[in-house]
Structure formats: C-alpha cells, structure tokens
Structure 1
Amino acid sequence: METIEQKHTNKTMNPQIENMLKKVPEVTIFFWITKLLTTGMGEVFSDYIVKTLTPVIGVAVALIVLILSLILQFKVRKYVPSIYWLVVVMISVFGTVAADVVHVGLGVPYVASTLFFAVLLAIIFAVWYRKEKTLSIHSIYTKRREVLYWSVVMGTFALGTATGDMTASTMHLGYFSSGILFTVLLAIPVIGKKFFKLNEIFSFWFAYIMTRPVGASFSDWSSVSQKHGGLGFGGGPVSLVLSIIIIILVAYLSISKKDVMKVSDNEESHSTIA
C-alpha cells in the first residue's frame, strides 16, 4: 500500500518540484574533485584525532559530529553544498574509524573486513533497488531514498578504507602503489562508459567506491613518515591543507550553483561520470 509521500512523489510531482526536492548534487567534475579530497582528508584526519584525543574520545567526537550533520541534512528541504559535504567528510572520518575498529579492535584481518563490508554494501544496494526500482542518485527526493542513499555512502567509505588498507598492508603494496592501483581501477568506469556503453548507474557507483581508496592511499602516503614509505608531512598539516581546499571548493559551489541539478522532464534521470 502506497504512503501519502509515495503517492505524491510517484503520481503528482512535476519535474520542477521534483528537482527542487533533490538532496544531492549534480555529478560534475567538481563533484569528483571534492569527493576525492574529502576521502583523503577523512582518512588522515581520523588517524590524527584518534592519536591526539585517544581512540575512545576520537570515535565519540566523530560520531557526534556525524549524527549532527546528518540531522541537518535530513532537515533541509533541498541540496545545500555546505551541509551535504560536511556529511560526506564526517562519513569519511567515521568510515575510517569503523574499518579500523573492525581490524584493530576486533582483530579481523583486512581481507575478511573487506569481504564483510562488500557483502554489507551489496545487501544495502539490493534493499534499495527492491524498494525503489532504481539506484540513481538523481532520484533522491523522498526520505526513504535519502536514508538508503546515505547508508550506501557509509558502506562505500568503509569498504574503500578496508580495501585500501588491505592492499597497502596485507598485500605489501604500500600507500603510493595502492594509490596508483586504485587510480587505474577508477579509470575503468570512465573508459567503460565512454567507449563501451557501460551502464551509467553501475559506472557511477563503481567510481564512487574507488575514489575512497584513491584519496585515502595518496593522503596516507603524504602524511606518514619516510620510514613507512611516505612523504612525512604529518596528519595535521595534510588534514589542514585538504580542509582549506575543500572549504574553498564548497564555497565556490555554493555561490556558483555549478552542481545544482537542472530541471529535467525525465522522472528518473541517470547519474553520469564527468
């Protein structure tokens, strides 16, 4: 039986109103740049606050800020760049902590945690598709779809973190080589969509997952000491630089509206790889 909200969105909503209610940005080059920066910043900043504030306090602070940012995101009635990207940053931070807790706190090997998060993410995708018959991020204009969307985002960050740690540590590739590996994998959906007509929604989510280990690997490589194969800049300075760049980008997007979805006559438009 349809709810009042479902009847409204499925039967009576015109494209312009539907567009106004969408809570996610348009997928442009700015989206991918900001996403990569947030993954890198979340990785090094989570490690930094855990070491600075102790693990328990660090996890508690990250969780509290994440919850508050999600409350803000669910309360607003349209896409607000500052709030949306704050949620992404905090999911990046907490996703790193979650993956580390599974490995360090519970002693689960990176291979096992990677498989666990992969299965968990697949289940969330399956539930989303079964309920909504679409996985397009351009269809996020109901509360249920928004909950499913952010659940998937959390899953992608946890999976990407575990995968990056697995290649860097378990497979002994190191951070830089891991970054190169995942950059190559990130190119697959771009090339596949452009030249081989790979499904757009699959391409988007594959790329979305890959941005996490790409950003995290290169940020770790920049922050860790030369003894551990890095550049030795430190977690604090790297986090600060990435945060400043993210703030500048989000401010630009807030003013320019470059990532606001345009009104479309298609009720279920597909996401794209910029």
Structure 2
Amino acid sequence: MTTDHLTHNRPPRRTRHAASKVPEVTVFFWIIKVLTTGMGETASDFLAHLFGPIPAVGLGGLALAAALAVQFAVGRYVAWIYWTAIVMVSVFGTMAADVLHVGLGVPYTLSTPFFMAALAAVFVLWYRSEGTLSIHSIHTRRRETFYWAAVLATFALGTAAGDLTASIGLGYLGSAVLYAFAIAVPAVAHRWGTLNAVTAFWAAYVITRPLGASVADWMALSHTRGGLDLGLGPVTLYWTAAILALVTYLATTHKDVRPATAP
C-alpha cells in the first residue's frame, strides 16, 4: 500500500478553533451597552450616597475584580458573565472619574483629556503588541487583557466627557441629544466607506458612555438640576431590569454568539 493511498484514506485533520471571548456586535449589543452605561452612572452615585465615596469605591473595585476573574477564567463568551463584567466596569469607571473630580478636585477639563490619553496609550500598546484592535480577534489572554483595559478607559473617559458637557450649560438632556447625534457620525462614516470598521466601532463605543449616562442622570436627578426626579435607586432598578431581560434573551437564544474562528 503506497503512502499516497494511506494519505488519501486518512481521516481529515480537525482544524482547531478559538472560541471568542466577546459577543457578536448586533443591535442587542448596542442597546445593552447603553443600558449598562446609564445603570453604572446611577448605581455609582446611589452607592456613594448610601455607603460613602471611599467604601463605595472599595466595594466597586472588589466587585470588578471578581467579575473580571470569572470572565478570564471561562474559555469562551458567556452572556451573563461578560455583561456582569461590563456592568462592574461601568460602575467602577464612573467611580474612578468621580473620585478625580469630587475627591481630588480635578476639573473635567483636565480629567477628560487625561482619560483620553490613557485610552490612546492602551490602543497604542495593544496595536504594537498584536497588530490589530479588532474585537473579532479576542482569542488570547493577552488580547483579552488589552480589550478590558480599553473598555475600562472608555468608561472613565465617557463619564468625564458627559459630565463636562453637562456642566458647561448643555445640561443632561442637552448632553443626551448631543451624544445621540455624535454616535451617528462613526456609523454614517463607516457606511459611506470613509471610516474603517475598527475605528468606527471604538468611536461609537466611547460615545455610548456619555449617551447612556446623560439619559440616566436626566431621568434620576432633581428638577432643580434639570432632571425628571425619578431618583437614583429607582432608575438603577429600572435599567438593571432591562439589562437582565435582554441578557437572559441572548443567553437563551445565543443570537450574539460569534462562530469560532481558526487561530
């Protein structure tokens, strides 16, 4: 029997595939992302009022560390694990921006460019190390580390930017309208072919933070501050319920699970 005959009859070798650690970017992704940003904003403020700023930051940091530990431990994307980590990043990212402003007295005009520089540094290091910033490539521990560092920086940046526009006269509703128009810019630019998919994604991702936070603040805060005065606690519960409903739907239907790709 010849070698060619053996090769011909040998069972085909199975191609190893790497499971993605992040969800497929669908309309559900963007809706839940905006909801987590708003929920993180009001939850952070609610916890700070309930426990005090320092204990709240400590609790937020521990919850974030636990959520990320579970996220890194699993070998693939799991809806409730991933979105729990995003919620904790949202809460702690808000706290980080607020600590700089409220606790240390750093104005938003300085904290906003600071977090912008931090995000740019993450992107530069990520690209130099991996040669891509695409979320479709999150298959290794190192890329996942860069991904979550970028996510944390976007939340802190978005918080500072949203508070900056609200404090210069736009108010929370005005800021929400501004960022609603702003988030359409990368989408339209990508649709017209003037902006690549990776840049468009991260631009929109950053803008979701001040968009969701501005809407949540407008709903929660008092009439004297330009809000609907629904309260921090109730708004946090409403947005959490919406997140739970959508994540449960995705965990059941797997509509946001991207097919595994060859490494």
User: C-alpha deviations, 1:63-83, integer Å up to 9, x for none?
Assistant: 111100000000000001001
Match for 1:58: what amino acid? A
Q: TM-score, normalised by structure 2?
A: 0.93
**CA apart distance, 1:17:** 1.1
Once the two structures are TM-superposed, the CA of residue 95 in structure 1 deviates from its matched residue by 0.5
Distance (whole Å) between structure 2 residues aligned to residue 144 and residue 102 of structure 1: 29
Establish whether residue 204 from structure 1 lines up as the match of residue 201 from structure 2. yes
Is residue 187 from structure 1 mapped to residue 184 from structure 2 by the alignment?
yes
- Give yes or no for contact 2:165–2:171 (8 Å, CA) kept in 1: yes
Q: Separation in 2 of the partners of 1:72 and 1:238? A: 27
2:225 matched to 1:225?
A: no
Partner of 2:254: 257
2:17 pairs with 1:17: yes
Aligned-partner residue type, residue 69 of structure 2: I
Normalising by structure 1, report the TM-score.
0.89
Unaligned 5+ runs, structure 2: 1-13
Amino acid at match of 2:114: F
Give the counterpart letter for 2:165 in structure 1: T
Map 1:5-44 to 2 at 5 A: 14=15, 17-18=17-18, 21-44=19-42
1:98-125: CA deviation from partner (whole Å, max 9, x where unpaired)? 0011111111110100000000100000
Q: Would the aligned equivalents of 2:17 and 2:261 in 1 still touch at CA under 8 Å?
A: no
Corresponding residue of 1:167: 165
Partner AA of 2:230 in structure 1: F
- In the TM superposition, residue 216 of structure 1 has moved relative to its aligned partner by 0.2
The letter for the 1-side match of 2:249 is Y
- Correspondence list, 1:89-238, <5 A: 89-169=87-167, 171-238=168-235
Q: Deviations over 1:41-80 (max 9, x none)?
A: 0000100011011112111111111100000000000001
RMSD: 1.4
| Partner in structure 2 of residue 55 of structure 1 | 53
Code of the aligned partner of 2:21: K
User: Which aligned pairs between 1:61-76 and structure 2 lie closer than 5 A?
Assistant: 61-76=59-74
Letter paired with 1:189 = P
Q: Shift of residue 259 of structure 1? A: 0.3
| Amino acid of the structure 2 residue aligned with 1:179 | A
Query: Structure 1: any 5+ residue segments left out of the alignment?
Result: 1-12, 268-274
**1:240 maps to amino acid:** L
Superposed displacement of residue 262, structure 1 = 2.3
The one-letter code matched in structure 2 to 1:56 is I
Q: Secondary structure at the match of 1:196?
A: coil
Q: How many residues align?
A: 251
- Asked if the contact 2:20–2:260 (Cα under 8 Å) also holds between the matched residues in 1, the reply is no
Match status 1:85 vs 2:83: yes
Larger gyration radius, structure 1 or structure 2: 2
1:202 and 1:193 map into 2 onto residues whose CA distance is: 9
User: In 1, distance between residues paired with 2:154 and 2:94?
Assistant: 11
Counterpart of 1:234, as a letter, is G
1:160 maps to a residue whose letter is G
Moved over 2 A (4+): 262-265
